[in-house]
Structure formats: C-alpha cells, structure tokens
Structure 1
Amino acid sequence: MYNTDFNKFELFCLMDTGLRAGFVAVKDKKSLNAVFTPAIFGRGLGAKLFSFAINELKADKIDVNENTRALRLYQKFGFEVFKRISKDGSSRDYPLLKMKLK
C-alpha cells in the first residue's frame, strides 16, 4: 500500500465530531481501500461508510491483511476470499487476502 497513488482513486472521508475518523478510496468503481481509526470501532460508523462504498460506489473488491478485525467486517458485508498473496504491493513479506463480493 505504500506505493499506492491515491490520485487515481475517489476518496471519501468519514467525519466524527469534526475529525477524520476514516476513509474509503475506490478506483474504477471496483477496488476498495478502507482505513478507520480504532476510536470508532464498535460504533457502526465504519459500517455506514463501507455500506456507502458498496451500495453507492459499487465497490466489489478489496485486499485485506490476514488475521485482522477488518477481515470479519468484510465477510459480514458479503465478501469472500478468492486469492491469497504472500507479498504486498511493495513486495514486502506481508500476506494479503484478495476478497470480492459473493
């Protein structure tokens, strides 16, 4: 993700009491990147932003780190793993799961 050029993405921020609490970035209405601050976990705010990306922006693919809370969230929204890669986009030994909507 360190080599990601966000100029190629549509970026939408989640605001909570005037502060950026997270964002989703969508490229070609397909690939989704999502980042949320831990302070909003468990409050449903990330789910609202994620629902927006899926339902309004038609995002249907995402890469996620193995063994994270995010994996469970994406599965809850109907994503399933279709491929595991052993290195991230920067060729680091950082396994990623490629997911798509069922």
Structure 2
Amino acid sequence: MDKERASAADYPKLLFIWEESVKATHDFLKAADFDALRREIPSFFPSVELYCWKVEGETIGFTGHAAEHLEMFFLSPRFRGRGYGSEILQQLVKTEGIRFVDVNQQNKAAYHFYEKNGFEVYGKSEKDGQGRDYPILHLKWSSL
C-alpha cells in the first residue's frame, strides 16, 4: 500500500470517497446535515496533513491529521473488510504519531474498528465539532 500527500487536484476524488463512505456508514445523518457536510468537507482539507492511500495505483481512501489527532479517515466501501483500514491506522500510529481520534457514537462499526486497533474512550461530547446533535466519543491510543 502506498501513501501519497494529497493536493488540491485530488479533492474531487477524495470528496467522492467521503460521500460513498459516509452513505455506507452514517445512516444516522439527516439528509440536510449530510448535504451541509458535503459542502464543508473540502474546506477542511487544507488544514490537515492529507494523504491518499493507494493499492496498485488506485486510491482506496484518505486520511487527514493535525499533530497527534486523526481528523478524518475514509475508506471506499469497496475496500472495507480486507484489512486495509487497520494497516493504514497502524501505520499512522507508528509513523505519524497518531494518538487521538473522535468518532460518532452512532457509528458503531467505526467505534469497534478503533477499539480493535488499540483505541479506548476517554471522553464524550454531546455535539459534533460543528455543533450538530451527533454525540462524539473521544478516543486515545491505549498505550497512553
């Protein structure tokens, strides 16, 4: 698997991956909130260390982090269940120093994924980062 720094030219492809991933995993989102997030997401790209993850030249997902905090991690649904997500996360922990991540409480699959990969809950917020009514679990890498 290859990790490449993303550029503005990659944004449309990353937004497509974000959309297909969220549709597959965030069935709790209201349609209006999904539409608002779809408009907002590209504005967050420049504020993080943004990477495309590729297998045989095909972008299968992307991550964005700031310091020790994983801000975004989206994998195309076509590549879920193959171990790529765990491989990416473990690489980020080892090479980028990722120690923290937030996950929607309603996204049980994501929570279990992070738990399986060594993260544990250390806090909770009743609203997401944009002030919407989606509770957030704050996770830290369990070695902390």
Mark the runs of 5 or more structure 1 residues left unpaired by the alignment. none
Instruction: Tell me what 2:115 maps to.
Output: 75
Counterpart of 2:102, as a letter, is D
When normalised by structure 2's length, the TM-score is 0.64
Contact 1:26 1:53 in 2 (8 A): no
Query: What's 1:100 paired with?
Result: 140
Residue aligning to 1:35:
74
Quick check: 1:45 aligned with 2:84? Answer: yes
Q: Using the TM superposition, give the Cα deviation of residue 77 of structure 1 relative to its aligned residue in structure 2, in angstroms.
A: 1.4
Pairwise CA RMSD: 1.7
1:8 alignment partner in structure 2: 47
Deviations 1:11-54 (A, max 9, x none): 111123443221111101x1102111111111011111111111
1:5 to partner: Cα distance: 2.5
> What residue in structure 2 maps to residue 87 of structure 1?
127
C-alpha distance in structure 1 between counterparts of 2:95 and 2:61, whole Å: 17
Aligned residue-pair number: 101
Q: Which residue of the partner structure matches residue 21 of structure 1?
A: 60
Letter of the aligned partner of 1:63 in structure 2? D
Identity of aligned residues (%): 32
Report the structure number with the largest CA radius of gyration.
Answer: 2
Tell whether the 8 Å contact from 2:106 to 2:135 is kept in structure 1 after alignment.
Answer: no
Higher deviation after alignment, 89-98 or 15-24 = 15-24
User: Of Structure 1 and Structure 2, which has the larger fraction of its residues in helix?
Assistant: 2
Could you tell me how far apart the structure 1 residues matched to 2:118 and 2:111 are?
11
CA contact (8 A) 1:88 1:96 kept: yes
